[in-house]
Structure 1
Amino acid sequence: MKKLDLSRHEKEIVDQALDFWKANGSLDDQKVQELRTTIDERSFEWKVLARYAFWVALASLIFSVVSLFSDNALEKFIQQFYDTPNVIFCFFFAGLAFAFYFLGFRNKKRYPEKTFSNETLMLAGSFSTAACIGFLGQVLDRENHFFSILFFLSILIYGVLSVKLSSKLIWIFTLVALGIWFATETAYHSDWGWKFWGMNYPLRFTIFGAILTTAAIFVQPKFASLKPFKSTSIIIGLLYTMIALWCLSIFGNYSDFEAWTKIRQYEILYWGLLAIALSLGLALYGLKRKDTVIRDIGFVFFLINLYTRFVEYLWDNINRTIFFLILAISFWVVGRWSEKIWKKQQSSSE
């Protein structure tokens, strides 16, 4: 049966419409379920990615030209703030955060339908909160444990705001703040060294991401206020795990750069094999469950890990011309494959 291919945002709108018609009695439950089976969520937007990449490149070029002509003026402007105490910046961003939160809550109450503008105000408040805490951390001595407590405070602030506003974007800030707190707390208890309980940062965050993902699947749904953020937590947890595991496959569980340079990459190959196996497992799980996000995360990191191993073991062993030729051909194959998927999606939706 031919299905309607929609983006995630479009599918969410259609789902909301179906729920609305079901609630007011326009459609019965059986008909709603029947209509849902005719909808498919579009996978990764390759064409959109290409368009955004060109836009970013153009914007970067513009900023580069502007910076070239205004560099002296910008430098003089920044120099005026070199001697300003960090506590001043801390109070400034605290006031700015309060103003954004006040406007956000007020607009949320007065204009609840303006979701985008309200959430933008809250995001601005989130950025200001992060800046305020950052400068407050500069004021306090990092040897003091209160430095770590500040990051924990930001988790509570972001968590409450995300629940109150039902904002998945602010929930992302909560999980990012949780990661920063975890790094700071473990660093404090290891006297600001690179290892904590024999684990360097990549290994620590591999475990941290795995715990976060597991908690999102089994623990978070038990709390009604946190249940809507389950999918977001799973994605962030997987990203923590896969990025950290990729770093672990390159550097191993080493905290000393000189010691790492003396080893051969095959000595830590088991981390690379684990990263490849896990990413491939995620890709296959996503395909089986028709979960496009998990599938794409697995597929992207599967490619990243394969190319990383390719560079590690072939860079010093084959001619540079052949190396880049193989790389070019492989990327061309991936590009052609992505293009076929995109064209197939287009033809099926017509």
Structure 2
Amino acid sequence: MKKIDLSKQEIEVVQEVLDHWQEQGLLEQSKVTELKDNIGEKGFEWKTMARYAFWVALASLVFAVVSLFSDDALVKFVERFYETPNLVFCVLFGALAALFYVLGFRNKKRFPEKTFSNETLMLAGSFATAACIGFFGQVVDRNTSHFTILFLLSIVIYGILSVKLQSKLIWIFTLVALGIWFATETAYHSDWGFRFWGMNYPLRFTIFGILLTVFAIWGQPRVPVLQPLHSTSYVVGLLYTMIALWCLSIFGNYSDFAAWTEVRQYEIFYWGLLGITLSLGLALYGMKVKDNVSRDIGFMFFLLNLYTRFVEYLWDNINRTVFFLILAVSFWFVGRWSEKIWKKKGAS
């Protein structure tokens, strides 16, 4: 019989569960021994290494491009292409993007278990697509500042590709491009100012994130081709909302830095209170319905908002030793609270 390979920590958990069932009379000794013998310890974590290797490869690619412009010999080599028409680069990056997508789609069908290498090809295709769209913008629109149409074009391209290739990674690019388009489009209609309809960027993106989350929950499941990407939209929508709301709790609805520096934090306390309330409600909702995503994001931003308020109101008002002592004690209580929840769930 083929053994199941688990990590050392997972083996300890499984053995504790088997021993507990044996003590409760749910399993006989012979069966427990048989099950324990069917467990093997994992060797080297090749999957983890593969994930990190692909991340390092992508990071190295970015650093290679950056280093290209700091090397004199390479700079001189690149300068030879300055007179090359933008159309050539547009076609070149378009061809590269198509190549990466074809390879990624083919590998995904032939080797679906090679998750990291397949997604790396998709990611490379996404970067090539962005470069192609950028050069396309230079070709067709050199004189106008309304370049937000290019972001709209990238949304359409990424959206179609993510649906056709069933790639959650490209769908993330779609939602990021959607956020960039929203920011630039509203900025364009406000004459490139920081306020649009009386709202600064954090307030705008708080509303944007809420709308995206609502669409992910109620709208996307009703669209058959978008159903497989529902969970990704939900996570990205929550992150848009909570990050923007956290920034709003710090800066308020101010778009002028000089005006913001003259404002005391208690004058925009209601934004912080809203952030704490929403994140706590999200965490409690996640625990109630066993939604790990909303629970983790809510709990993370609840602590972030709580400690942001702590720093804002106490950093300049109390002794540093007392400040860090309070911080240590508060984290200890958070740890104890988490430990009690963990034990309670383990007992149940």
* TM more than 0.5: yes
CA contact (8 A) 1:148 1:185 kept: yes
Specify whether residues 328 and 168 from structure 1 end up closer, same or farther in structure 2 by C-alpha distance, changes over 3 A only. Answer: same
CA contact (8 A) 2:68 2:75 kept: no
Which residue number in structure 2 is paired with residue 192 of structure 1?
192
Which residue number in structure 1 is paired with residue 34 of structure 2?
none
Q: Name the SS for the 1:225 alignment partner.
A: helix
CA contact (8 A) 1:161 1:170 kept: yes
Aligned equivalents of 1:333, 1:227: Cα separation in 2: 41
Which residue number in structure 2 is paired with residue 22 of structure 1?
none
Q: Name the SS for the 2:239 alignment partner.
A: helix
Q: How far apart are 1:215 and its partner, in Å?
A: 1.0
Specify whether residues 120 and 73 from structure 1 end up closer, same or farther in structure 2 by C-alpha distance, changes over 3 A only. Answer: closer
Q: How far apart are 1:133 and its partner, in Å?
A: 3.0
User: How many positions carry a matched residue from both structures?
Assistant: 287
Q: How far apart are 1:74 and its partner, in Å?
A: 4.8
> Which protein has the larger Cα radius of gyration, Structure 1 or Structure 2?
2
Q: How far apart are 1:98 and its partner, in Å?
A: 2.3
- Are 1:232 and 2:240 counterparts? no
Q: Name the SS for the 1:317 alignment partner.
A: coil
Deviations 1:129-156 (A, max 9, x none): 12333455567458432x1111111111
Aligned equivalents of 1:171, 1:134: Cα separation in 2: 19
Which residue number in structure 2 is paired with residue 43 of structure 1?
none
Specify whether residues 73 and 124 from structure 1 end up closer, same or farther in structure 2 by C-alpha distance, changes over 3 A only. Answer: closer
Compare relative contact order (CA 8 Å, sep 6+) and give the higher one, 1 or 2. 1
Specify whether residues 142 and 282 from structure 1 end up closer, same or farther in structure 2 by C-alpha distance, changes over 3 A only. Answer: farther
Name the amino acid aligned to 1:267: E
CA contact (8 A) 2:123 2:170 kept: yes
- Are 1:310 and 2:306 counterparts? no
Which residue number in structure 2 is paired with residue 327 of structure 1?
327
Specify whether residues 259 and 334 from structure 1 end up closer, same or farther in structure 2 by C-alpha distance, changes over 3 A only. Answer: same
Aligned equivalents of 2:212, 2:194: Cα separation in 1: 22
Q: How far apart are 1:321 and its partner, in Å?
A: 2.2
Q: Name the SS for the 1:192 alignment partner.
A: coil
272-281 vs 132-141, which moves further? 132-141
Q: Name the SS for the 1:218 alignment partner.
A: helix
Which residue number in structure 2 is paired with residue 95 of structure 1?
95
Aligned equivalents of 1:345, 1:104: Cα separation in 2: 45
Q: How far apart are 1:72 and its partner, in Å?
A: 11
- Are 1:123 and 2:123 counterparts? yes
Q: Counterparts in 2 of 1:137-152, with a 5 A limit? A: 140-141=141-142, 143-145=144-146, 147-152=147-152
Which residue number in structure 2 is paired with residue 153 of structure 1?
153
Specify whether residues 345 and 194 from structure 1 end up closer, same or farther in structure 2 by C-alpha distance, changes over 3 A only. Answer: same
Which residue number in structure 2 is paired with residue 183 of structure 1?
183
Deviations 1:167-222 (A, max 9, x none): 22221111111111111111111111111111110000000000011111111111
CA contact (8 A) 2:158 2:171 kept: yes
Name the amino acid aligned to 2:180: I
Which residue number in structure 2 is paired with residue 76 of structure 1?
72
- TM-score by length of structure 2 reads 0.71
Deviations 1:264-315 (A, max 9, x none): 1111110000000000000000000011111000000000000100011001
- Can you give the 5+ residue segments of structure 2 that lack an aligned partner in the other structure? 1-5, 11-47
Specify whether residues 113 and 306 from structure 1 end up closer, same or farther in structure 2 by C-alpha distance, changes over 3 A only. Answer: closer
Aligned equivalents of 1:102, 1:73: Cα separation in 2: 30
Q: How far apart are 1:254 and its partner, in Å?
A: 0.6
Q: Counterparts in 2 of 1:1-350, with a 5 A limit? A: 74-76=70-72, 79-80=75-76, 81=78, 85=82, 87=86, 90-108=90-108, 111=111, 114-134=114-134, 136=136, 140-141=141-142, 143-145=144-146, 147-334=147-334, 340=339
Aligned equivalents of 2:209, 2:329: Cα separation in 1: 34
CA contact (8 A) 2:130 2:154 kept: yes
Once the two structures are aligned, what percentage of the paired residues are identical? Answer: 70
177-186 vs 78-87, which moves further? 78-87
Q: Name the SS for the 1:248 alignment partner.
A: helix
CA contact (8 A) 1:143 1:188 kept: no
- Can you give the 5+ residue segments of structure 1 that lack an aligned partner in the other structure? 1-5, 11-50
After superposition, the CA RMSD in angstroms is 3.6
Q: How far apart are 1:76 and its partner, in Å?
A: 3.0
CA contact (8 A) 2:69 2:75 kept: no
Specify whether residues 231 and 73 from structure 1 end up closer, same or farther in structure 2 by C-alpha distance, changes over 3 A only. Answer: closer
